Amino acid sequence: MAGRGCGQRGDNGWSEWGGYMAAKKRKLEEQFDKDCSNNAKQLERKSNIFHGISIFVDGHTEPPADELKKLMMEHGGVYHAYYSKDKVTYFISNNLPYAKIRKLKPNDKVVRSQWITDSIKQNKLLPTYDYEMYKDITKSRGQTELNFKRTEPMRPITSDFNVPNSDEEENNSIEKSSSSSETEDIQAEEDDHLSALDAKHPKFLETFLKRSRLHYLSSTAVAKKVYVQDLRQKLEHRQLIEKRREELKNNIQRSERDYLFKLNDEKKDKIYMHIDMDCFFVSVATRNQPELRDQPIAITHSKGKKSTTTNEHQFYSRSELASCNYAARQYGIKNGMYLGKAQELCRNHQAKLLCLPYDYEGFHEVSDRFYDIILSYTLDVEAVSCDEMYIDLTELILYLKPLHPLTFVSLLREEIQLNTKCPCSAGLASNMLLARLATRQAKPNGQCYIEKGYEQEFISKQKIIDLPGIGSSILDKLQQTSLHKSIETCKHVQNLFSLEKLKSVLGTKQGQTIYDMTRGNDIRTLAKDYSPKSISIDINYGIRFQTFDELNLFIKQLATELQKRLQQAKQKGKQLTVKIRVRSVNAPIVTEKFMGCGKTDDSSRLVNLHSFTDDLTIIELETIKLLKQMNFVVSDLRGIGITITQLQSTIKNSHGKDMHGTRTLFDCNQFRVPKLTITTDDIQNIDEPSESSVTRKRPIQQDQTTSVVPKKLTRHDCYTPGQIDPRVMNELPAEIRQEVEEHLKNPPTTLGINSELHQINIAEKSFTQVMDHLDEAVLNELPPEMRREITIAQKLRKIESKYPPVGGKRLVSAPVSSTLINKEKSNAFNVLMNSPQKQPIPKKTTNPIKKWHTETILNEENTVPIPLNEKKLNTNQQQQQQQPSIAGCTSLNDVKLMLREWIESSDEPNQIDLDLFQNYLFDLLNSYNAEMVHQLLIYGLLQLKTLTKTIWTDNFQILIDSVQTRFRQMYGGATMDLS
Ligand code: DCP
Ligand code: CA
Ligand code: CA
């Protein structure tokens, strides 16, 4: 019965006692000793692995406390029935109520019972690290107790969790730590000096990002890509390259090897190089102290001193190692490992890990030199990150011939070493994949060339897990399908899996990729144009607001940073998505990870902007508008992210094809009418037009000086050639492009309703001309992605001509009276409003069932008299009856078409798209349009039935489950029949 509080509430082993309890404790200990000696006769002492270890069991464990007591006896340890600060070294528990966790001291260890059973199995005392619980909370409490209390003053935390001695409730009291977001997810690193700021502080973001190595890595990667792209435009740089090459050619000492090397002169033999600095952060930090390099070194925020002053079980740091050197790697230490684990590995080898701080200035300096040296010989470069790039060496090697590529590479690496005092390694091969794998083989400080004829031998020996982008989940799937044979190398996959089998196990796209990779095939060429799909900022740490005003201030910080990122990347975007993480209903207010997210429910919303923008105010306002639409309690917000998509380079129009061939839900809808974001404020501010809300600067028109008289918006404004994807514009035959551009350059000078309509007609005409001019021959010339988009656009045009969407553009050709236009406007507002708080209340509402026929809603609204009882609907209900839309689609047919395109476009749906689609279905439910939800789900299921897309099907099922839950809540427990 030990360890369960002996039936007295409050006497649960955690307080200090005197008198009766002390006596009882002593008695129990004597009892244990007696048991030991009595049992010693029956219980065989099997080992001494727990010598010096004493435990206190709390709560339900597996095996139970009595069994653990027996095991301790058998293996030389001590079992305490009561907690004693002096005697107990470990709490054994599989979970603790929150009240107890709060009382843990920074050095207290709570270890799962499996530590004992596993140690016995392996007949040695295992390190506790992998079995420890609540490490975060004890550590962060130890460091920031005051702040911890200060930032959570709203609700008494104990009231939610203080349920001692109830295993069931204890289970509920422990939250799982949240998973990280798929976009850049900046996690604060625990360290000795983590400041106690939360996101309310005006300098929070700045301080946070300065310390975030992930931010450093992502921003420098972007900076390098843009830098290389910029250099390509510079004539003087080309001249520099010529000069440097000539110098090299003249000074080179050729050997026999060089004269023997033959490269196919017709440029059929490609030579790619992958080059990467060795243990970059460590090399930079020690570049002026090379004598240190033979000992294990790591870069971390924590100095890691504590482990040297206390015994090995006292402290286990979870500060991450950003980088470790090769001396450390020989003990099994890796980049990204926790410091505590790394220290333990070092101790096992009687070595000591030297922890050095980040030297951001040094990283920048070395990275710049590394890039500049290589770029002084060639611009055939694809920047990967601050310490890594791919180079197409083909042309340079032809220029330098006769020269063995490795001769050039050793000269290059020498130059880098000389100028940076840091080593790097390089891999060469006929494709990018093999080159990258060759670098791995070359490290540290080496080079490796997989010459023609040796590729198959090389690839077949490579481990699957070392292939780029392959994680353990893929490996597990492969392993599961061939239970008896171990799958470790590419050879194993080659032998055991046909292409068909891989596709059936992993899905079409992934199956094909693995098939190609395991055979060393890679047809990629350098991605020279930097064309990101999205730019974002996500903060999931320190988000603790009490009021919306505090949140607004933080949005300004976020928008400023996002603008900086857009400008650094030389991009503007046309779509903005806000993602939020909100504390789950049953999750504790105080998170396990200090200032972390805990368990959250996540959702996102998107808005189409009127033009490509990087404007701070627009980002800020649109974000706030979207947030206002999302139902959440501000104090429960735990994470927030803003993503800008549909990007366009500000350098030049990118021809960028989707590198992955995958289109998102929104890409499927390139040619659709984008939504406008209009608020009543905007209408009032009509004399002060803003880019996002009232006037629409069309990118191609931007340099025009004709001031745009603030004009009232109609739906038609959205449907202009300015909206034609610039990629498509670029690909159009010259004369058609000219024609379209001509219309754009010469808009009518007077702007009134008539001229406005005229302009719209021109715009529409141009668009129609563009589409109609594209005969099959031209279409066939276009890249497949673009061809597909145009075909979709044509299809959509056909559908639209049959069913004008809400606020439909077809009205334009009908005789238009100004009142009709006004009606249409208010209708467009109804549909397009983003901020429910600010929406004008529609004058009339229709029967929710009629919303089903979205194509005819406009006419109905013009003609159907308002039933009296519907007039009484409150604002909320009226808002709910706005026809929801997604990515520009409102009608059932359009949404279906989009859904089909989306499903067909990829093997795996993107999470943001799924969230948005789910939001959309919820919105439909909220506007009492369950019938449409039902139709869409059935349609989606039917589409998936004909295709074998397992990841899609799984994700769609999850989406259906959420929709069913919402449906049940709304309709008294009923379930939609989707059979
Ligand atoms: N980095 C990080 N956290 C990680 C991995 C890397 O902060 N989990 C940082 C530190 C690294 C730098 O990025 O020094 C470059 O990463 P690499 O993957 O190139 O690793 P290293 O350069 O450290 O070692 P290697 O010699 O294996 O390239
Ligand atoms: Ca590296
Ligand atoms: Ca690297």
Task: Calculate mean pLDDT across residues 622-629.
Answer: 95
Q: Which of 857, 874, 891 is the last residue of a domain?
A: 874
Question: What ligand is nearest to the CA atom of residue 445?
Answer: 1
- Residue 702 or residue 536, greater confidence: 536
- CB neighbour list of residue 757: distance below 8 Å, 6 or more residues apart: 716, 812, 816
Tell me how far the alpha carbon of residue 444 lies from the centroid of ligand 2, in angstroms: 10
Instruction: From 215, 320, 324, 387, give the residue whose CB has the most ligand 1 atoms within 8 Å, as the site to mutate.
Output: 387
Render pLDDT for 651-690 as a digit per residue (tens, 0 to 9). 754 343 333 333 334 433 333 333 333 333 333 332 232 3
SS3 string, 456-495, reads: HHHHHHCEHHHCCCCCHHHHHHHHHHCCCCCCCEHHHHHH
Domain that holds residue 317: 281-358
> What is the DSSP secondary structure assignment for residue 594, as one 8-state letter?
T
**Is 387 known as a binding-site position?**
yes
Å from CA of 280 to ligand 2 middle: 5
Which ligand sits closest to the CA of 443?
A: 1
My answer on whether 805 and 664 are in the same domain is: yes
Closest ligand 1 atom to Cα of 326: 26
Q: Is residue 529 part of a domain?
A: no
User: Hey, which of 218, 219, 220, 279 would you mutate to test ligand 1's pocket, going by the most ligand atoms within 8 Å of its Cβ?
Assistant: 279
Both 308 and 423 in one domain: the answer is no
> What CA–CA distances, in Å, run from 64 to 38, 93, 121, 171, 546?
21, 10, 17, 16, 44
pLDDT, tens digit, for every residue of 630-654? 989 999 999 999 999 999 998 754 3
**How many domains, in total, are found in the chain?**
7
* CA 213 to ligand 1: nearest atom: 7
For tokens 């008198």, the residue is 19
The whole-number pLDDT of residue 437 equals 98
Separation of CA 596 and ligand 2 centre (Å): 30
pLDDT tens readout for residues 711-750 = 332 222 222 222 344 444 454 445 545 554 554 454 333 3
3-state secondary structure of 946: helix
On whether both 330 and 478 belong to a single domain, the answer is no
Mean residue pLDDT across the chain: 72
Q: Is residue 200 part of a domain?
A: no
Give the closest residue (by CA) to ligand 1 atom 24.
Answer: 279
Q: Confidence band (pLDDT; 50, 70, 90) for 30?
A: low
Ligand 3 centroid to Cα of residue 385, in Å, is 6
Q: Is 581 helix (H, G, I), strand (E, B) or coil?
A: strand
Could you tell me the CATH number of the domain that includes residue 141?
A: 3.40.50.10190
Residues 6+ apart with CB under 8 A from 33: none
Domain edge (last residue) among 88, 122, 149? 149
**In this model, does residue 15 exceed pLDDT 90?**
no
Residues with C-beta atoms within 5 A of ion ligand 2: 276-277, 280, 387
Rounded distance between C-alpha atoms, residue 667 and residue 661, angstroms: 11
Question: What's the gap in Å between 218 CA and the centre of ligand 1?
Answer: 12
Which tokens sit at 677?
Answer: 């974001």
Handedness of CA 648, 652, 655, 657 (dihedral sign): negative
276 in a labelled binding site: yes
Cα of 662 to ligand 3 centre, how many Å? 26
Spell out a b/e string for 144-181, using b for 16 or more CB atoms within 10 Å of the CB, else e: beebbeebeeeeebeebbeebbeeeebebbbbeebeeb
Q: How far is the CA of 378 from the centre of ligand 1 (A)?
A: 25
Nearest protein CA to atom 7 of ligand 1, as residue: 322
Same domain membership, residue 793 and residue 667: yes
The dihedral built from the CA positions of residue 468, 474, 478 and 479, taken in this order, carries a sign that is positive
Q: Indicate which atom in ligand 1 lies nearest the CA of residue 217.
A: 13
Nearest-CA residue for ligand 1 atom 12 is 280
862-916, pLDDT tens digit by residue? 333 334 444 444 444 444 446 788 877 888 988 898 888 888 888 888 877 888 8
Same domain, 841 and 863: yes
- Dihedrals φ, ψ of 392, to 5°? -90, 105
Within-domain flag for 236:
yes
* Same domain, yes or no: 841 and 957: no
Tell me if 319 is assigned to some domain.
Answer: yes
Domain assignment of residue 216, yes or no: no
**Residue with CA nearest ligand 1 atom 1:** 322
Q: Active-site positions?
A: 388
Between vectors from CA 736 to CA 734 and to CA 741, what angle results, nearest 5°?
90
Q: Count each helix (H run) and each strand (E run) in the chain, helices first.
A: 40, 17
Distance in Å, CA 364 to ligand 2 centroid: 14
Q: Which atom of ligand 1 is nearest to the CA of 282?
A: 14
Which residues' Cβ are closer than 6 Å to ligand 1?
Answer: 213, 217, 276-281, 322-323, 335-336, 387-388, 443
Report yes or no on 163 lying in a domain.
no
Same domain, 856 and 773: yes
Alpha helices in 123-177 (DSSP H): 135-150, 157-161, 167-173
pTM above 0.85, yes or no: no
Helix (H) or strand (E) holding 78: strand 78-80
Which ligand 1 atom is at minimum distance from the Cα of 278? 26
CA torsion sign, 489 to 490 to 492 to 496? positive
Residue 246's CATH number: 3.30.70.270
* Closest protein CA for atom 2 of ligand 1: 322
For the stretch 66-80, pLDDT in tens is: 899 999 889 988 888
Same domain, 830 and 742: yes
Domain stops at, among 149, 172, 191: 149
Kindly identify the ligand whose nearest atom is closest to the C-alpha of 297.
1
In a domain, 717, yes or no: no
Whose Cα sits closest to atom 3 in ligand 1? Answer: 322
Considering all CA atoms of the chain, what is the largest pairwise distance in Å, rounded to the nearest integer?
107
For residues 946 and 859, state if they share a domain. Answer: no
The confidence score (pLDDT) of residue 905 equals 81
pLDDT at 10 over 80: no
Q: What's 550's domain CATH number?
A: 3.30.1490.100
Assess whether pLDDT exceeds 70 at residue 944. Answer: yes
From CA 894, how far away is CA 902, in angstroms rounded?
12
Of the candidates 242, 525, 522, 516, the one whose C-alpha atom is nearest the C-alpha of residue 394 is: 525
Q: Both tokens of residue 390?
A: 């791919």
Among 138-152, 403-417, 474-488, top mean pLDDT goes to 403-417
* Radius of gyration from C-alpha coordinates of the chain: 33
Q: For the segment 151-197, what is each residue's pLDDT rounded down to a tens digit?
A: 222 222 222 222 222 222 222 222 223 333 323 333 444 433 344 47
What pLDDT score does 819 carry?
A: 35
| Residue 388, annotated as binding a ligand | yes
Tell me if 687 is assigned to some domain.
yes
Query: Which residue puts its alpha carbon closest to atom 23 of ligand 1?
Result: 279
Residues 691 and 839 in one domain: yes
Residues 762 and 861 in one domain: yes
Q: What percentage of residues in the chain have a pLDDT greater than 90?
A: 40
> What are the start-end ranges of the H helices in 864-979?
868-871, 875-880, 892-905, 911-926, 930-946, 950-970
> Among the atoms of ligand 1, which is closest to the Cα of residue 321?
3
CATH number where 307 lies: 3.40.1170.60
| CATH number for the domain that contains residue 474 | 1.10.150.20
Residue 102 has what pLDDT? 62
Look up residue 338 and give its DSSP letter. B
Mutate to test the pocket of ligand 1, among 280, 283, 390 (most ligand atoms within 8 A of CB): 280
Nearest-ligand number for the alpha carbon of 446: 1
**793 and 850 part of one domain:** yes
Q: Is the pLDDT of residue 281 over 70?
A: yes
